[in-house]
Every structure is written in structure tokens, then in C-alpha cells.
């Protein structure tokens, strides 16, 4: 069972229920796009998968390769192979990208084992090139003073370096100009492999022209209301969320 398995997930913040019975399976090797209007709970889902302490899971479960994800600390989840590209990445003043990623990779090694510095830099520069960034970027502090687009690229750089089993990309395309969008899409595509499952959160069908998903899901008000193949995204663009919502009366499917 190599998959990220979300079953009947309910998420609350305070009194408010934001995700209301969401079921979704992302097997390794597939790309699943998740679309939905503002405030439908996409980022909330992503953050809960990553273990954000602000949210409570009131019902349901999440399994990663058959293991209960929800009882793990955020860093344990990451080391088990879950990666999230943030919609709004944090700044880490004074910590360079190179040092940060080095520490992140080091944390995945068994105690007493040191990361090989030469191999590390070779890999870092290879990925930097893949994402059309300048090497000097790696000596800048993580996200500090970065433009919106630079932040998004840096998220994908981290994805490429950390080689997770599952990646949740939360609106990695928003704020990117068309050239940057192509580069980032190219970066993600080059990482696609049978070992990586991707959940791609986006508002724009445009991204899906470059990263072609295996499945598309539409989320409205904390639930998946429609699922389909890549054509669903086109149909959604044409018909809008009201059309998608109509489907929500039907029994849930994936």
C-alpha cells in the first residue's frame, strides 16, 4: 500500500469545522490536482497533513504507506517522507539556504553519520540549475527578502533536494510569471517518478497544461465534490464552481 491515504477527515479550528469528511488517496507515482474556491480548506488540509499544531483532527485518519501519520510530530512526518511546499513560506533570518538544506538532510541520517559535503554541494548546484536559479542564491538567508516567485522556486528546490515520498504543493504556481511557471513545472516534472506521489493544490488550469495530473479533485466547503481525469480541470474552468457544487449532493466518490 504505497499511498497517502486520507479517510473521512474532519478538521476544526476552535469551534469551526473547516474540513468536513474528506477522503482522498494519492498513490506513489501519481499526480493529483486539488482545486477549489478560496477558503474551501485546501491549505488547512495541507497543513494538517504536515502536522500544524493549530488544527484539531476531530475524526478520520491519515495513513502514509500504511502507517498512522497523525500521531507523528511534524519533523517525524517530514523524515518519513512527507514534504509540503508552503503557500506562504516563512523567512529564516540569517540561515542560508545551503546551511538550512544541509541541516535538513543531516537530520535524515542515522546518528553519528555526517553528510558528505562535496556530494551535497554537487547535488545542490545541480538542482539549482534545474530550477534556473543562480548559485549565489544558496548563500542567501532562506526566504529573507525574496520575491514571491523566488520563494516558490525555493520551495521546489527544497523538494528536489529532500526527495520525499509524498509532496503537497500548495499553490506553488501562484505569483509566478509565465517563464518561472514553466521552469518550476519543468522542475516538478523532472522529479516525477514511481516513488513520488504529488498532491498539487492550484487555482489555475494553466499549471495543469505543464504538469499533467493523473487525477483532478474539486474541493468545496471542506469536501471533495467531484473527481475525474485531467479533463475535469478544463470543464471546471468552463463551468465554474457552482456547477461543481451541484455534484456535491451525489454520494462521495474519489
Partner 1 sequence: MKTETSAVNIDRSKGDFFYPEAHVRDAGIGLSEKTVHYIADVKEDPDWVREYRLRGLKTFLEKPLPTHWASKDLEAIDFNKIRYYLSPGTEPKRSWEEVPDDIKRTFERLGIPEQERKFLAGVEAQFDSEAVYSNIKKAVGEQGVIFVGSREGLKNYPEIFRKWFGKVIPIADNKFSALNSAVFSGGSFIYVPPGVKVKHPLQAYFRINAENFGQFERTLIIADEGSEVTYMEGCTAPKFNTPTLHSAVVELIALKGAKIQYITVQNWASNVFNLVTKRGLAQENAEVKWIDCNIGSRLTMKYPSVIMKGRKARGEVLSIALANDGQHQDTGAKMIHAADETTSNIVSKSISIGKGRATYRGLVHVPKHLKHCKNNTECDALLINATSRTDTYPAITVRGTGNAVQHEASVSQVSAEQIFYMQQRGLTEAQAMSLSVNGFVNDLVRQFPMEYSVELKRLIELEMEGSVG
Binding site for partner 1 (CB under 8 A): 50-53, 73-75, 77-79, 83-84, 86, 89-95, 99-101, 103-105, 107-108, 141, 158, 162
Q: What is the SS3 assignment for 31?
A: strand
Interactions with Mg ion, residue window 87-146 (CB under 5 A): 87
Please, what is the minimum distance in Å from the beta carbon of residue 14 to partner 1? 16
Q: Of ligand ATP, Mg ion, partner 1, none, which one does residue 44 interact with (CB within 5 to 8 Å by kind)? A: ligand ATP
In this structure, which long-range contacts are made by residues 208-215, counting pairs with CB atoms below 8 Å and at least 24 apart in sequence?
A: 208/33, 208/233, 210/181, 210/182, 210/185, 210/186, 211/31, 211/185, 212/31, 213/31, 213/32, 213/33, 214/30, 214/31, 214/32, 215/30, 215/31, 215/32, 215/33
Q: What, of partner 1, Mg ion, ligand ATP, none, does residue 24 touch, CB below 5 to 8 Å by kind?
A: none
Q: Which is nearer to ligand ATP, 156 or 219 (CB)?
A: 219
Residues 28-57 that bind Mg ion (CB under 5 A): 42-43
Which of 38/136 has CB closer to ligand ATP? 38
Least distance from C-beta 169 to Mg ion, angstroms?
Answer: 11
Q: Binding to Mg ion by residue 202, rule CB under 5 A?
A: no
Q: Which residues contact 88 (CB under 8 A, 6 or more apart)?
A: none
Closest CA to 185 of 161, 169, 164, 166: 169
CB of 114 to partner 1, least distance (A): 14
**CA 13 distance to own-chain centroid:** 21
Residues engaged in binding Mg ion (CB under 5 A): 42-43, 87
Amino acid at each position: 500500500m504505497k499511498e497517502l491515504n486520507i479517510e473521512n477527515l474532519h478538521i476544526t479550528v476552535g469551534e469551526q469545522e473547516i474540513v468536513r469528511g474528506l477522503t482522498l488517496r494519492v498513490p506513489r507515482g501519481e499526480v493529483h490536482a486539488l482545486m477549489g474556491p478560496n477558503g474551501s480548506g485546501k491549505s488547512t488540509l495541507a497543513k494538517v497533513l504536515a502536522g500544524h499544531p493549530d488544527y484539531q483532527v476531530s475524526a478520520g485518519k491519515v495513513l502514509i504507506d500504511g502507517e498512522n501519520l497523525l500521531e507523528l510530530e511534524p519533523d517525524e512526518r517530514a523524515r518519513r517522507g512527507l514534504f509540503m511546499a508552503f503557500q506562504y513560506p516563512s523567512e529564516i533570518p540569517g540561515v542560508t539556504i545551503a546551511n538550512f538544506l544541509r541541516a535538513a538532510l543531516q537530520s535524515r541520517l542515522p546518528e553519528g553519520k555526517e553528510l558528505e559535503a562535496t556530494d551535497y554541494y554537487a547535488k545542490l548546484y545541480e538542482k539549482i540549475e534545474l530550477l534556473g536559479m543562480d548559485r549565489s542564491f544558496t548563500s542567501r538567508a532562506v526566504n529573507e527578502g525574496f520575491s514571491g516567485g523566488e520563494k516558490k522556486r525555493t520551495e521546489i528546490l527544497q523538494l528536489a533536494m529532500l526527495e520525499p515520498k509524498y509532496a503537497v504543493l500548495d499553490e506553488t504556481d501562484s505569483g509566478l510569471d509565465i517563464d518561472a511557471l514553466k521552469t518550476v513545472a519543468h522542475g516538478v516534472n523532472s522529479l516525477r517518478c514511481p516513488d513520488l506521489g504529488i498532491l498539487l493544490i492550484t487555482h489555475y488550469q494553466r499549471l495543469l497544461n505543464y504538469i499533467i495530473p493523473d487525477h483532478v479533485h474539486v474541493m468545496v466547503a471542506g469536501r471533495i465534490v467531484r473527481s475525474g481525469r485531467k479533463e475535469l480541470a478544463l470543464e471546471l474552468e468552463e463551468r465554474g464552481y457552482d456547477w461543481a457544487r451541484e455534484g456535491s449532493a451525489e454520494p462521495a466518490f474519489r
